[in-house]
Structure 1
């Protein structure tokens, strides 16, 4: 599994290594396991290259969201038992959040299920077809522009025999 390429390139400009004195900063409360003695010269995080953190800090569009942490482009996962430890370094309990692990196959246009992409293409094809039909109908039987005889209040009312 790789960490490279999981964050947007624009995040490298947004996130930078701190310029503060290490004595002036402390790790967040939920990072005690990662930094039990606090920060020092060797362990202060370089968030410009910490792609998992950059993904976590990116705002989600919806209340249900997932954040990518690792990717595998070329290697085949061999059959076997895998273990993953999920910690609370990024807490979710305060807003009734949950943590799940998704193993999925994604392509350039999104997930493995291509229904949404196909439905958009079909919908666009139908719109294109209808626009061509309306163009042909308008070319064969054009409507007179500015003909006030076609307005409903200019038409003669039928005599109802009163």
Structure 2
């Protein structure tokens, strides 16, 4: 596998597109300290002890917090976690002068403490997580391995299993993958295009055969408005 090798965590049976879950956040709070106390849309994770939580809401509160340590042939293999989020998110959606406040562990799913000294625009794990997935099975980027992995290498992973997926019958997977100028592999779109295309082709053949076997009778053009007498007397 040629570098960079992308490290993803995959969650299954996790509905990040649930209406209540998606709405429990406030993007303005992520951008500006002036909106720090505007947490009415973040219930139930809006405040603690009467003080606003930054970032607030169910999405941030359920931040994925498993960690992975890699070794290759008994040598430590570093994972680069810089640049894993979209540059537009770091520059526009998350403020450089907004810092986590009152954000603590405690989520029944997992939860993760954020460093209060690091602005939200540099908390890339959070930024990746806050871009919610549309499907119940999804992958999110954990980091990048900036060295080549050769055939025959022995890769070992030390996993800290902090994130609780048992409560919703979910599953977790660790995925190593590469990409090209065409992007990464995604079977879903290819299967969807082939399925819809096959259905359309089958319907086109069916209606063509139906038309040849039993053509529709043409309508009587005398009933067209411009062929009828304007006076209506004849």
Q: Give the TM-score, by structure 2 length.
A: 0.38
Q: Give the TM-score, by structure 1 length.
A: 0.50
Higher strand fraction (1 or 2): 2
Compare relative contact order (CA 8 Å, sep 6+) and give the higher one, 1 or 2.
2
